[in-house]
Amino acid sequence: KYVYFHSQRHGYCTLGEAFNRLDFSSAIQDIRRFNYVVKLLQLIAKSQLTSLSGAAQKNYFNILDQIVQKVMEDQYNPRLIKDLLQDLSSTLCILIQGVGKSVLVGNINIWICRLETILLWQQQLKNLQMNKQVNTGLTLSDLPLHMLNNILHRFSDGWDIITLGQVTPALYMLSEDRQLWKKLCQYHFAEKQFCRHLILSEKGHIDWKLMYFALQKYYPIKEQYGDTLHFCRHCSILFWKDAGHPCTASDPNTCLMPVSPQHFIDLFKF
């Protein structure tokens, strides 16, 4: 599944049409694409919800329902979904109370029901209990410290580091390492940004952990996804990289351009 862009106009289809044609319902079943789709839904919730057609809005909430049910069943990344639902509920509250029918497609009562459903999902996720795994062999706690440290150094999200650090005392000790947080800051942010928001500890050292969360409030962090949408400049086609497309270029790889969730939104601002 892919979306074609006319060469004389940056995009002939709407955001909603592209959203439908790229089959995000199937994409969320692929763990490599799951976070990408959730981030895209979050960006749409923040600023593009009213630009979707009635059919696209229905599809949006159907996919969101599938995401919530998947998280409830698999307990996969509930924090990410909680953030999405929070942004979506805030947007809907403003739209329903402030402008209502003037910008929302469809009956206002439908939107009120959707908001109530979102609030129900939020409560369900709040009450979500993680399944306790039966110990059938080697566990994370059995790994040597250097391997646990290597795992922590491969995380790109500070909250994931903190969460893993709560598992055992050894992981907590490793998760508090200054060098770990320094490398995380250096990965996501530029040196000139450090200087603008310098935070020192009581001993006069840079507190890299606090720096990371402070910088995160002011600057976007780098995003990592297992599989992303790509744009082929030769064929003017938007597609999932791992799925490919029938490219006619002599060297297709030179024509590919990765498309972040924000870039995807920007493609339809014409």
- Predicted model pTM: 0.78
Place of tokens 């799925």: 243
Tens of pLDDT, residues 58-116: 899 999 999 999 999 888 888 889 999 999 999 888 888 765 555 677 777 888 899 99
pLDDT value at residue 45: 93
Identity of residue 233? R
Bridge partners, 240 (sequence order): 229
Alpha-carbon distance of 57 to 61, in angstroms, equals 6
Question: Tell me: the pLDDT tens digits for 132-144?
Answer: 655 566 777 788 8
Q: Which residues pair with 258 in a beta bridge?
A: 230
Range in 47-61, 110-124, 131-145, 151-165 the model is least confident about: 131-145
Whether 40 and 263 have beta carbons less than 8 Å apart is answered as no
- What are the strands, taking DSSP E only, across 167-243? 229-232, 237-240
Q: Is the pLDDT assigned to residue 237 strictly greater than 70?
A: yes
Structure tokens given for 199: 């935070």
CB 111 within 8 A of CB 96: yes
Vertex 260: Cα angle to 259 and 261 (nearest 5)? 120
